[in-house]
Amino acid sequence: MSYTWLQGDKDSGVKAWMDGVPFDANTIEQLKRTARLPFIFRHVAAMPDAHWGLGSTVGSVIPTRGAIVPASVGVDIGCGMMALRTAYRAEHLPDSLSQLRTRLEAAVPHGRTNKGGAGDRGAWSDPPAGVCSTFRDRLASEMQKIIDATPELERIQGKALSHLGTLGGGNHFLEVCLDESDCVWIMLHSGSRYPGNAIGQHFIREAKRQLDGWFIELPDPNLAYIPQKSPLFETYVRALRWAQTYAWHNREIMMERAQEVLSDTIDPGSVITPHTSSADEMTVHCHHNYAELENHYGRNVWITRKGAVRARQGDMGIIPGSMGARSYIVRGKGCADSFNSCSHGAGRVMSRGEAKRRFTVADHEAATQGVECRKDANVLDETPGAYKDIEAVMAAQSDLVEIVHTLKQVVCVKG
């Protein structure tokens, strides 16, 4: 399949990959509003998982020249995926997957309690040495430069260390999966946690304040932008890139801890398959909420992927389904019309509130049969029925990526 102009109208300014996955009216109008911004370069690209989001549509690629919209990048700056094909196979997994999930939950802080205050189970009370080392060696000095330039962000200092190497809540997850050959994978989804959220919220407010001072009105205040000629722009980009780096290391730390748990849980005596070796390991890592300067159509432009993965020719990416559904390791085809991008998942078809009203725990248990995961009322907003059909989403973007591996989770840890 390939794109179509949104509503068949070239003047919409939106190329959409929506065959078999139609968008609702709110999503369509939001895409069109974004495309009308005066600094959009050529067109907005809408991925098949597109759905309404704050300011700009989740599942959209927004190319700009001379400005960035902070709310389009979002507040989970650098959110993305990491997947590792291990040297293990299905037969090496323990009989009790419940024990494996329990150990993963103990090794990686997840969720959020006490409104993120003291004793929050989703943060470290005493970060391990590896977390401290990463923060000190790679992140702390640059963070201080950001705080020096933006004293209002001093509050990130208190949680930057305790949130590094933690999963968060919402749709973030840590999974053990099997591929089409019964190889064991570890896959996780997380971002920049409190520091990224604080940075995003601050610059969204500053963008709005700055435009108000210039008497510029927008159809949606959350489309407030920071012009490249503004002194605020360089400050934002520096903080943005720091948060993206923070998110990247956050996933690396969690992956290391998940690997340790898997290795400790599997009986060494069971790993006797001759072709099982470290040579079978494969790592894929990608952002899907971020902005970066790239070259497209011969011009250097800012590409904001709000729920989209870079998919240049040969790029490896991850497109997860919902709990209970398949996920995909993909290789990019380098489609210029999509600004070398693809979807970042299945995409929601209903709000979290609607999902909790519509589905029961029994529905969720049936939808996640065969998966060792939480099956309680507090995860109904993440049940498979709240999302688009991942198979339809994949079919709609066959010109953007090719499927390399198909994964099915057997263990899922939710925040």
CA distance 79 to 326: 20
CA distance 269 to 280: 19
Which DSSP symbol is given to 287?
E
Task: Name the active-site residue from 92, 172, 189, 344.
Answer: 344
Is residue 218 a contact partner of residue 224, using CB atoms and an 8 Å limit? yes
- Residue 225 tokens, joined: 């932008």
Is 275 noted as a catalytic residue in this protein? no
CA distance 35 to 61: 10
SS3 28: helix
- What DSSP assignment string belongs to 300-348? EEEEEEESEEE--TT-EEEE---TTSEEEEEEE---GGGTSEEESSS-B
CA distance 125 to 148: 26
Q: What is the 3-state secondary structure (H, E, C) of 201-267?
A: HHHHHHHHHHHHHCCCCCCCHHHCCEECCCHHHHHHHHHHHHHHHHHHHHHHHHHHHHHHHHHHHCC
Q: Give the catalytic positions in this structure.
A: 344
